[in-house]
């Protein structure tokens, strides 16, 4: 069963569901007043949240990059492909693109 990341106006929900319709039903059941902002079918069956990205370590916190997250979504989580997409969209060099994509992966893309 796929894992979905669902962002609403008030929550981020991680849930297993058969499809997007079933994932949306989870939100309606649990938080009927929330509006779904973004729903992503995760490319893997597990979820990892970096303590550094949450500011729970001495590591600098990172800001999510909408372009990088879009590239990761388009590449289905394939880091190398996401880096290429990011370089193409932004004109960034390889090293900078790698850092942006990897930092967004750390934040639980």
Q: What is the pLDDT of residues 56-97, one digit of tens each?
A: 555 444 455 788 888 988 888 788 999 999 999 999 899 889
pTM of the model: 0.47
Return the minimum-mean-pLDDT range out of 23-32, 43-52, 70-79: 43-52
Beta strands per DSSP E along 20-94? 36-41
Residue 30: its pLDDT value, please?
Answer: 92
Rounded CA-CA distance 22/19 in Å is 5
* Interacting residues of 17 by C-beta distance below 8 A, sequence separation 6+: 1, 2, 4, 23, 25, 26
> Domain spans of the chain?
3-41, 48-109
Q: Which residues pair with 16 in a beta bridge?
A: 3
């Amino acid at each position: 069963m796929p894992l979905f990341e669902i962002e609403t106006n008030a929550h981020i929900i991680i849930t297993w569901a058969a499809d997007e319709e079933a994932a949306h039903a989870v939100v309606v059941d649990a938080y009927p007043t929330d509006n779904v902002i973004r729903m992503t079918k995760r490319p893997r069956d597990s979820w990892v949240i970096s303590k550094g990205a949450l500011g729970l370590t001495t590591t600098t916190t990172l800001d999510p990059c909408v372009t990088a997250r879009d590239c990761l979504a388009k590449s289905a989580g394939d880091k190398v492909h996401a880096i290429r997409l990011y370089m193409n969209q932004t004109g960034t060099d390889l090293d900078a693109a790698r850092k942006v994509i990897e930092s967004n992966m750390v934040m639980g893309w």
